[in-house]
Structure 1
Amino acid sequence: MSTLEIRDLHVSVETPEGAKQILRGVDLSVSSGQTHAIMGPNGSGKSTLAYSIAGHPKYEVTSGEVLLDGEDVLAMTVDERARAGLFLAMQYPVEVAGVTVSNFLRTAKTAIDGKAPALRQWVGDVRTAMENLRMDPVFAERNVNEGFSGGEKKRHEILQMELLSPKFAVLDETDSGLDVDALRIVSEGVNRVKSTTDVGVLLITHYTRILNYITPDFVHVFVDGRVAEQGGPELAERLEAEGYDRYLVGTN
């Protein structure tokens, strides 16, 4: 059993007008096997939370803590965070020209585990994971995210999650830009990983449609860099019916 704890987290980002505070004291605790949905209107700090956990240099943590099994995540480099068991599926995955998907995946697995995976077993694992995600085998020889459609990029993110077996996965708006079929396949991939591992999931989303496929244990509503309300799956159903307007009164 592992725990990811976020304690009174304050985060700023540099803008042309100077430093702007985005997160204003976030408290959150995720345990192995749990799915926490982070919801809220645009600009509420959801993605800032994701990138702060992952260690993006653009985001400055001004106070607070992020602990993974009691270890200070904020003191770790980005690669150390990955080896400790953190995984980020980015909202906008970047292209890596000249690096094939197969080379990227095996290099990442080797870096995280500290040794190269046994080749025959690895090839079989990759093939099975790609088949489950309805990915053509030739996909493995394409350059990472180069010319990928939105659905292909998001399937590739879940492919990484399945093969790298993190303790905690932060999925930043994995549903954005997906059609219904791609959303279902990506959601099935997340559920498949959860059913075979104890991965804890922070699922960041603006809409509730992905929650029709991935049932959260907890829902947290972000407004103006804070958790405005939290509850169970029923909270997401209420947001679907009512929207975020009632949280925004007096915030502008």
Structure 2
Amino acid sequence: MTKNLLSIKDLKVNIEEKEILKGINLEIGEGEVHIIMGPNGGGKSTLAYALMGHPSYEIVQGEIKFKGEIINDLSADKRAKKGIFLSFQYPEEIPGVTVEEFLRTAKTSVTGETQKIIPFKKLLKEKMELLDMKEEYASRYLNLGFSGGEKKKNEILQMSVLEPSLAILDETDSGLDVDAIRVVAEGVNKLKNDKRSILVITHYNKLLNYLNPDYVHILLDGRIVETGGLEIAKEIDETGYENIKSQFSYDGGQ
């Protein structure tokens, strides 16, 4: 029996007093891959930031339970130390800080243990080889001059180095061509294991062609309105979100 890693119950979240999430219920077991899809403005990224503890996202009702502990009041850094990772849709460029320096600092912060230079170089080299990344990549300034695909691949590298229990990928496929999407998906697949769970938030279903998710959820107007398998994504690919929207409206906008 799969052990629950993340449990979200009746989660309501406001941004500047406007209700965005209107009662999210979701459970993710250890080692599972979940996809959340939905049209723009439905609350997908809000869910990601609320799970990570962004201070601008106010939890007004419900609970987030991670590894059996309610984490509603924990700051983002404390959630990271407990094993939650969020990849950004638009990674920042940081001149003067190399990929290696950034990752070593992040690893030290998350683990609470100083990462010595030589052992960390070895670790980073191993992770980069796993993701088919060239060694000189580590000495480049973080995201500076990176292509869209390189920025997203760097997020996957961060996930690999930090080894979270739950990785949340927010619109990782946004703006990428087919080759870059495939590279990102391959990276995700290589990092999956029976303890690490992955939550992929996306507007498209191109990424799903390369992943084998356990569940696909549709998030519409602040609620998860449908859960199933890849058949849901295929239906959306063929008909868009209009059928689900019409059903949703017919049900009274629940």
TM over 0.5: yes
TM-score when normalising by structure 1: 0.92
Q: Cα gap change, 1:2/1:97 in structure 2, threshold over 3 Å: closer, same or farther?
A: farther
Using the TM superposition, give the Cα deviation of residue 134 of structure 1 relative to its aligned residue in structure 2, in angstroms: 3.6
Q: Tell me what 1:35 maps to.
A: 33
Measure, in 2, the Cα distance between the counterparts of 1:91 and 1:36: 18
Contact 1:188–1:213 (CA under 8 A) maintained in structure 2: yes
| Alignment of 1:144 onto 2:139 | no
Equivalent of 1:214 in 211, 220, 233:
211
Alignment of 1:68-217 (within 5 A): 68-117=66-115, 119-195=117-193, 198-217=195-214
Q: Tell me what 1:223 maps to.
A: 220
Measure, in 1, the Cα distance between the counterparts of 2:172 and 2:232: 20
Using the TM superposition, give the Cα deviation of residue 163 of structure 1 relative to its aligned residue in structure 2, in angstroms: 1.0
1:137-190 per-residue CA deviation (whole Å, 9 max, x = no partner) reads 222122222222211110110001111110001100111111222111111111
Using the TM superposition, give the Cα deviation of residue 207 of structure 1 relative to its aligned residue in structure 2, in angstroms: 1.0
* 3-state SS, counterpart of residue 74 of structure 1: coil
Measure, in 1, the Cα distance between the counterparts of 2:138 and 2:132: 13
1:229-250 per-residue CA deviation (whole Å, 9 max, x = no partner) reads 1112222222212210012233
Contact 1:25–1:225 (CA under 8 A) maintained in structure 2: yes
* 3-state SS, counterpart of residue 220 of structure 1: strand
Q: Tell me what 1:13 maps to.
A: 15
| Alignment of 1:64 onto 2:62 | yes
Q: Tell me what 1:4 maps to.
A: 6
Q: Tell me what 1:239 maps to.
A: 236
Percent of paired sites with the same residue: 49
Contact 1:133–1:186 (CA under 8 A) maintained in structure 2: no
TM-score when normalising by structure 2: 0.91
Name the stretch that deviates more: 57-66 or 80-89: 57-66
* 3-state SS, counterpart of residue 174 of structure 1: coil
Contact 1:2–1:167 (CA under 8 A) maintained in structure 2: no
Using the TM superposition, give the Cα deviation of residue 95 of structure 1 relative to its aligned residue in structure 2, in angstroms: 2.2
Measure, in 1, the Cα distance between the counterparts of 2:240 and 2:4: 33
Q: Which AA in structure 2 matches 1:122?
A: F
* 3-state SS, counterpart of residue 22 of structure 2: strand
Contact 2:4–2:27 (CA under 8 A) maintained in structure 1: no
